[in-house]
Structure 1
Amino acid sequence: MRSFVRAAELGQLQRAADELGVTQQAVSKRIASLERELDVRLFTRTARGVELTLDGQAFLPHARNIIAGVDRAITAIKPGSRALRIDVLGLRSAQAVVLHDYWRSHPEIDLDVVTLRVNDPRVAVAAVQAGDIDASFRSVTDPATLPHDVRMVHAFDSPLELLVGPRHPLASARTLTPSQLRRHRIWVPGIAPRSEWAEFYDQLATDFDLRIDAAGPNFGNEVLLDILADSADVATLVGSRDRYVWPANHDLRRIPIVNPALSYPLSLILRRENPHPGLRAIIDHLGHLSPPPTPAWRPSWATTPRHSGEDLDRTRR
């Protein structure tokens, strides 16, 4: 199958043989065997090499999928043979910031940070199961629904801050308590159904009687920051480690929320068996991050924080 795909992509049997480390005769025999098995001709010979027949063109995408599946199966049991691949919610999120800080201290690590761009954490769980990624910074709010071969461990907590423009009535505050946020419109566009943050904000609003508004389309962070800069009544919530950049004339204010601190719990989803060896150092790093201020509020579904190294040991067992 690999011989067929490389010959189709390169257009020459000799070049395919060179890449695969075999002779041209071996590639020809493999393709001939495949053609006999399928009872079709996959190639026609030309003066320049080989070209796919119509049957070969129809077969090529399926052959590629088969090879990709085999490769995923191999990396699932030999995860250390490639880069550590971790999914984050966004490249400005606290998870990405923490990973970047770790990578700056350990530039030798082969790290691949990806964003699956999905709202349902079960999709991320399936990607971990399939071996497409090694870990995902997601939370399944009902851990009992996790597949038996996947585990979720506590990563770190991200305390929330209120982000407001200079005309907002709370703009001059140095800190705020949750009770001071009541009756103020807190706009959080993009709260997607079935997402972990939908459940987080629903419980937050209920427990503290907050007015959290997700109405309207989500045009991205830049538009949200522009609106906050011009508004006298709209605020939003951001994580203390989230990275946001805005023009100096926006004069936005990030105000910590205390007594209690509102902590967004971040979890890491990974396989129980054969986790990527690079995860050990990452999880140990997460275990040494500073905890949120006390007292702190966390949603009822949040897992109990533990030492991260112990979590990985439990995963391996």
Structure 2
Amino acid sequence: MDLDTVRTFVAAAEAGQFQEAAAELAITQQAVSKRIAALERSVGVRLFTRTPRGAELTIDGQAFLPHARELLRVAERAVSSVRAGRRPLRVDMIASRSAASGLMRGFHAAYPEIELDVVMVFDIGEAVAAVRSGALDASFRAVAMPGRPLPGDVESVRVLDEPLELLVGPAHVLAGARSVTLAQLAGHRIWMPGLVPGTEWAAYYDDLVAEFGLTIEATGPNFGSDALLDTIADTPALATFMGGRTRLVWPAGHGLRRVPVTDPVPVYPHSLLWRRDDPHPALATLRAYLAATAAGRGGAGTWTPGWVLPR
């Protein structure tokens, strides 16, 4: 059903005259008559009767009017759902317990009037493609992986360098340390079953291992963070790396310890990606918020891989 004919019908029904409906719609009275006639042919009934005072709805027209109004309301909602500024800002943050999640919670608290649609995309290639297509307005990633430069229409800015910490159980030899250097970690078993080849975090840890002679094991199935914490708590010989802003909760009986890593401090670089011509007005607000509040970007005494984009 043509929405222009429905809109014309509603205007004529509310005005009571085709002439006034024509003036409201900025079309000719003849065009109004043609649209009404087309609509009547479509529904198979007369919707108006002509009177000396103008046009009156028939019984069928009166029955059709509330549905016609609802059709127009539904159409407006459909357009509004995809109109920049009227739909939620769609942001990918990879994982719900990540540092990016904390940044977005802070943004939501500062701008509660901005609707957010938070999604989690595993693969960086899929995330970049979604940003380029408009399915996402922004994505938090560590960019750019070796051999995978960003497309020319995608912008990025580093918003947070997250220090890594060593997570150990209560019986681990480093459990009582106030801090540990990267050199001291050589020879210790660091277990990270979530390292998936081809991801940006796997590329990050590959470079960390190569530069500092560490031993990172990614063996065994990845049953998630809870299973990882259970194993670290119960195995004195194992440790794992964790982002300093990663939010994990474990039972008090686990006795897990977070140990700062120093000399240099390995930091995981979080960047925001967006399409250069993305029209959503809230995107500029998010970028300004991150620029003003996301402190701790690089600096002396820190380490990132050479392929990470500069600040």
Fold conserved (TM > 0.5)? yes
Matching residue of 1:15:
none
Gaps of 5+ in 2: 4-35, 44-77
Superposed CA deviations along residues 217-256 of structure 1, whole A, max 9, x for unmatched, are: 1000000000011110111111111100000111111111
Report the counterpart of residue 294 of structure 2 in structure 1: 289
Per-residue CA shift, 1:15-34, capped at 9, x if unaligned?
Answer: xxxxxxxx9x859949xxxx
Change in Cα spacing, 1:131 to 1:209, as seen in structure 2 (3 Å) is same
Offset of 1:145 from its aligned partner? 3.3
SS for the counterpart of 1:123 is helix
**Structure 1 residue 215 and structure 2 residue 219: aligned?**
yes
1:232: which partner in 2? 236
Residues 39-85 of structure 1: CA deviation (Å, up to 9, x unaligned)? xxxxxxxxxxxxxxxxxxxxxxxxxxxxxxx989x94xx43221111
Distance 1:28 1:195 in 2: 59
Deviation at 1:285, TM superposition (A): 2.6
Matches within 5 A, 1:135-174: 135-138=138-141, 139-142=143-146, 145-174=149-178
**1:84 aligned residue (89, 99, 104):** 89
Which residue of 174, 180, 193 maps to 1:176?
180
Other-structure match for 1:276: 280
Counterpart of 2:308 in structure 1 is 302
Equivalent position to 2:201, from 184, 197, 202: 197
In the superposition, the TM-score normalised over structure 2's length comes to 0.71
RMSD value over aligned CA atoms? Answer: 2.9
Asked if 1 retains the 8 angstrom alpha-carbon contact of 2:159 and 2:294, the reply is no
Q: Tell me the amino acid that sits aligned with residue 304 of structure 2.
A: R
Secondary structure in structure 1 of the residue aligned to 2:281: coil
Distance 2:262 2:108 in 1: 31
Matched position secondary structure for 1:216 = coil
Report the AA paired with residue 193 of structure 1.
P
CA contact (8 A) 2:169 2:235 kept: yes
Aligned partner (choices 133, 137, 142) of residue 134 of structure 1: 137
Distance 1:2 1:220, change over 3 A: farther
Provide closer, same or farther for how the CA distance between residues 2 and 203 of structure 1 changes in structure 2, counting only shifts above 3 A.
farther
Aligned length: 243
Rg larger in structure: 2
- TM-score norm. by structure 1 comes to 0.70
**1:26–1:227 distance in 2 versus 1, CA, 3 Å:** farther
Paired residue for 2:126? 123
Residues of 1 paired with 2:243 and 2:299: CA distance? 13
Contact 2:132–2:153 at 8 Å: present in 1 too?
A: yes
